[in-house]
Structure 1
Amino acid sequence: MKSDSFEINYPITNRNQVNDLYSTLDSKHAAKYFGSPRQLRVDQLKSICSSSAFSVNIKVQYIKEGFGFFSNNGMTFFEKKDACKVSEFVPEISTGNLLCNQLIPISIAPDPRVCKNIQRSIIVSSRNATNLYHYISEIIPSLEICSPHISRSYSISIPTLGIDCNPAIAKQVSLDREVLPYNGRQTLARIRDCYVIQSIPPRIYSRDIISGFVEKYNKSNFGKEYARPPFFDFLYVQRGGGRGRQLVNESSLLELLGQYSRNIAVLDTGSTTFRQQVDLFNKSRLIISTHGAQLTTSIFSSSIRGVIGLWNSKHETPSSLIKTMGIKYWHVVSQQEDGSDSVGHWANHVVDLQKVKDAIHSAL
């Protein structure tokens, strides 16, 4: 077992959308995604695009003692001697909500009362670590690859936002390790005797690993039942209140689906556990939902016919992962709602029902 920092060179024999990834990233955007801790430079993508197989170097850093600030961009680490610098990263807290992009400096060293202690554990540093798509496609493969090289006496520290899916998935691939959830955004932690693992680069998928833990999760939670024929013809997945991208004409869409079948399920991701969500996906033939990480759950279904994603622009995630796992995906372009309180990536939107009909006919 390793007792210091090390690297693992891991071959990836399946990847999807890499050519598209290279053609759409400019240098500024690429640096945002492929800089530290990703360690995959943009100029390497050319050789990746022309290769049927390639490998990634996953860096594992051993930390004896120090401080870590966890945000949506991963972990920023400070040596113990630089503790005074951590004060610049203490988040402002307003009415119980963490304002992820607004940080206020304080004039004192970290107060142990506001620091979480993470000791003798494995931490994965990743952008968007609390997002289900990034968690499954980038973090879990890194844990699978690196965990055998680290003593089993180390736990796994999993980023979460109060939802149960990340720890629930980690327990299936933990190799008998204890799984410790922590708030993955704006968390300040004292780190002692820990390994910090970088994640797999985005939109580059280790399909064998992902397929393996999906099967492991389903068998562990549902046994032979997960392979049964679907019961629902349609599953419409809501994003949950307050999560943006609300479909304004949702009731009209449900009426449309009712013209095709009475066997329709509606899932609210904000009020169900991850196990309940996987169970419904496994019971459904066709999934329809607004673009978002919740569509990632479709890869856990053994009987799904396809996924229809609704959004005002085409996104390669999580659709690229869904297609990589052998599931058909149709994108239906919607329109941003006029006067929507939210804009851009989180805007409410309206879908053209005729376009949904066309997608359904293609799927069925």
Structure 2
Amino acid sequence: MSKLPARLQPLWPLAKRVHRALSLVLGVLGRRLAPLLGERGLPRSGSTTSAATAAAEPDAVTLHGPAPSPPVERAVPPGMPPRHWAFTTTTRPDVPPVQTLDVRDGTVVGDFAAVITPGRVLDFETSDYWGIAGWQEHPLFLRPRLPAVEHVSGTVAVLATRGGNASYYHYLLDVLPRLEVLRRTVPDVAVDHYYLERSTRYHREILALAGLDGLPRLDVGRERAVRADRLLVPSIPNVGEHTPPWIVDHVRSLLPPADTADKPTRLYVTRGDRRHTRRMESEAELWPLLEARGFARVDPGSMSVRDQVDTFAAAEVVVGVHGAALTNLLFCRPGVRVLHLMAPTYVKHCFYAILDAIPDARYRYVLGEGRTPPPGTELTGVQDDIDLAPEKVLAELDVLLEQ
């Protein structure tokens, strides 16, 4: 996920490398100065796992659970080119255990919800961030000190996490499932406040539809730090975007369709026509051909969450450009068929992982033209547009429908 403006998206790989290097360098300085800044000082160290965090501070930190998650094994999906390494390397993903970190006098910081113990340790497992090699590169260390720390009495549960403030995908698949992790691991706990993002229309609509809009909430902000008497931090169950099947089942149960009557059964999910936004470059030529085959063009970002759920629940066939709008595949009926369009510089398994949990769903991917990174390299074309000939899309669609 990139926060750069569209015109600057080609600079993202360089910006990410600079971001990581600055975090490393500034973090060394910040940790040395931390003792001089009191409670606003940065964490003095970090731990890779929550188990290590709890073991290091047994008087202040407890780990509830952990309950091992059932293993996940997936076949390599069909697509062109076949057996792309982004799929062959994710057939047996590591699935994190379901557990909750319980921290006395714990602190949560920012919209990425970094978790700090009273011993000034950053728990990296619950403070996960994209594309970094370890806790030393966490963006928390880009700042010279913490925001002013606000003390909140009672028990605070952290549901916010990286990406949840700005991504429909991460809100549905990272934020919401943390509440279920909390319920499974600390079932009888009384929570006074939830550290939970609710700033956008879709945040509020999702919570209302799921019956969660009445949760007592603390606002999330980039410049906010909250220290609680007791901080409960559920594990992030969708690390690596591998989406264990229980998450799909859980979100589907929270957001069932209401009215699928008169909804189209064939969808083309557009990304619009702005450059460097993963747009389909040939959409002007492709769309009339799809329309002739009975497709309706939809832009889920312009729809209410209720309408998105119902529209995708009615779909029998979906052709979609890679993007957060395809998160709505969560709500598709059993047997749905999906053609996933991607650039070769940004091939992602996340939507296949969702469909793998829906009975009898059929998935196929097709990649555009252009530079093909070698196996195992970082795929950094986050917002690269997709160069695909319309006839190739139609040919792959025919193959999908014949599966």
Q: TM-score, normalised by structure 1?
A: 0.66
Partner of 2:107: 67
1:298: how far off?
1.2
Partner of 2:256: 218
Are positions 1:257 and 2:290 aligned together?
yes
Deviation per CA, 1:274-329, whole angstroms, max 9, x where unpaired?
A: 22221221233222221123212112122662221111133211222222323221
Deviation per CA, 1:66-119, whole angstroms, max 9, x where unpaired?
A: 5322355x514263x869xxxxxxxxxxxxxxxx96976457x7446xx69696
Are positions 1:282 and 2:322 aligned together?
no
Partner of 1:199: 236
Partner of 1:325: 358
Are positions 1:180 and 2:237 aligned together?
no
Q: Given that residues 322 and 329 in structure 1 are in contact (C-alpha distance below 8 angstroms), is that contact kept between their aligned partners in structure 2?
A: yes
1:156: how far off?
3.2
Distance 1:142 1:11 in 2: 15
Partner of 1:357: 394
Partner of 2:182: 146
Q: Which moved more, 1:193-202 or 1:236-245?
A: 236-245
**CA separation of 1:336 and 1:141: change in aligned 2, threshold 3 A:** same
RMSD after superposition: 4.2
Identity, % of aligned pairs?
16
Distance 2:264 2:233 in 1: 42
AA aligned to 1:312 is A
Indicate the SS of the match to 1:281. helix
Q: Given that residues 15 and 206 in structure 1 are in contact (C-alpha distance below 8 angstroms), is that contact kept between their aligned partners in structure 2?
A: yes
1:266: how far off?
1.9
Q: How many residues align?
A: 301
Are positions 1:5 and 2:62 aligned together?
yes
Deviation per CA, 1:228-277, whole angstroms, max 9, x where unpaired?
A: 5x74142222346688212222222211112212x5132241x3232222
Deviation per CA, 1:171-216, whole angstroms, max 9, x where unpaired?
A: 6275x960637447x3432231331122124355442453144134
**CA separation of 1:125 and 1:157: change in aligned 2, threshold 3 A:** closer
Partner of 2:157: 122
Q: Indicate which of 269, 272, 283 corresponds to 1:237.
A: 269
Indicate the SS of the match to 1:351. coil
**CA separation of 1:18 and 1:196: change in aligned 2, threshold 3 A:** farther
Identify unmatched segments of 5+ residues in structure 2.
1-59, 77-84, 122-137, 372-379
Q: Indicate which of 98, 111, 118 corresponds to 1:58.
A: 98
**CA separation of 1:323 and 1:209: change in aligned 2, threshold 3 A:** closer
Q: Which moved more, 1:298-307 or 1:352-361?
A: 298-307
**CA separation of 1:117 and 1:318: change in aligned 2, threshold 3 A:** farther
1:357: how far off?
0.5
1:11: how far off?
4.2
Bigger fraction of residues in strand = 1
Are positions 1:77 and 2:111 aligned together?
no
Indicate the SS of the match to 1:143. helix
Identify unmatched segments of 5+ residues in structure 1.
26-44, 84-99, 338-342
Distance 1:23 1:360 in 2: 22
Q: Given that residues 10 and 55 in structure 1 are in contact (C-alpha distance below 8 angstroms), is that contact kept between their aligned partners in structure 2?
A: no
